[in-house]
């Protein structure tokens, strides 16, 4: 009794679903036929709408595409550059020279970095020696840096009014004494351009 009542209720609900579907205009096939591959037929009276690109892209726009072939000359120029303008490929450098002192290569017009590093290190060592000697006292007198063995042989007048900073090592061969001459000194009487007393 209860079972037949349930069946009747189920059938009634199915009919109600079909009635709603028919009212809404969509007639789906019954569930039992769905697996059989039943197609939903469109209304035969309505013609198929023609394919239109506008339906796909809507109000969008198309990207610009090349409309003409670029010549091989233009393509090569874009790829490798032009010698009159900018070359994009690697070019041999012709402004390199070999240092006559150390043999390293460097650009023409600039100091040899390897040799200049020696100067930097020597200057730093000299600055440290001066700092260690003078410490925080004010620099009121001329500071003279002497390397090992340079103090001997100097006249006593040389040390008057000067602070002597000694560096316990021989002077490097490339370090001329004349490089430390002050610009306030009287100009040299000789016209030699090359510094004397080298080494
Ligand atoms: Zn060098």
What is 121-167 written as a DSSP string? Answer: HHHHHHHHHHHHHHTTS---SEEEEE-TT-STT--GGGGTTEEEEE-
Contact 151, 162 (CB under 8 A): no
| b/e per residue 71-97 (b: at least 16 CB within 10 A) | eeeeeeeeeeeeeeeeeeeeeeeeeee
Q: Report pLDDT digits (tens) over 84-116.
A: 999 999 999 999 999 998 999 999 999 999 999
pLDDT the model gives residue 1: 54
Distance 146 CA to ligand 1 centre (A): 25
Q: Tell me which of 172 and 41 has the higher pLDDT.
A: 172
* Count of all residues that appear for the chain in the document: 199
User: Which residues, by Cβ under 5 Å, contact ligand 1, an ion?
Assistant: 99, 101-102, 112, 114-115
Q: Enter the pTM of the model.
A: 0.47
Is the confidence at residue 43, as pLDDT, over 70? no
* 168 contacts: CB under 8 Å, gap ≥ 6: 148
Distance 109 CA to ligand 1 centre (A): 13
Average of per-residue pLDDT across 68-95? 94
Distance 115 CA to ligand 1 centre (A): 4
Distance between CA atoms of residues 126 and 123, nearest Å: 5
Q: Which of 85, 80, 107 minimizes the C-alpha distance to 96?
A: 107
Distance 179 CA to ligand 1 centre (A): 19
C-alpha distances (whole Å) from 106 to each of 39, 92, 95, 103, 112 are 83, 14, 9, 9, 6
Q: Would the CA dihedral through 103, 107, 110, 113 be positive or negative?
A: negative
Distance 183 CA to ligand 1 centre (A): 27
Contact 149, 170 (CB under 8 A): yes
Distance 118 CA to ligand 1 centre (A): 9
Distance 174 CA to ligand 1 centre (A): 11
Is the confidence at residue 37, as pLDDT, over 70? no
Distance 107 CA to ligand 1 centre (A): 11
φ, ψ (nearest 5 deg) of residue 198 = -75, 145
Distance 177 CA to ligand 1 centre (A): 20
Distance 141 CA to ligand 1 centre (A): 35
Contact 180, 164 (CB under 8 A): no
């Amino acid at each position: 009794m209860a079972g037949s009542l349930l069946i009747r209720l189920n059938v009634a609900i199915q009919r109600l679903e079909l009635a709603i579907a028919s009212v809404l205009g969509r007639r789906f096939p019954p569930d039992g036929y769905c697996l059989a591959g039943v197609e939903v037929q469109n209304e035969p009276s309505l013609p198929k709408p023609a394919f239109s690109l506008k339906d796909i892209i809507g109000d969008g726009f198309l990207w610009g595409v090349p409309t003409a072939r670029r010549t091989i000359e233009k393509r090569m120029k874009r790829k490798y550059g032009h010698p009159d303008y900018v070359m994009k490929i690697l070019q041999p450098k012709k402004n390199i020279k070999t240092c006559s002192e150390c043999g390293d290569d460097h650009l023409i017009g600039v100091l040899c970095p390897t040799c200049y590093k020696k100067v930097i290190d020597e200057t730093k060592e000299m600055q440290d020696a001066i700092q260690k000697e003078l410490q925080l006292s004010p620099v009121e007198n001329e500071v003279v840096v002497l390397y090992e063995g340079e103090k001997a042989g100097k006249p006593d007048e040389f040390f008057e009014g000067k602070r002597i900073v000694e560096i316990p090592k021989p002077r490097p061969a490339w370090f001329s004494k004349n490089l430390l001459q002050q610009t306030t000194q009287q100009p040299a009487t000789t016209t030699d351009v090359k510094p004397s007393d080298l080494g």
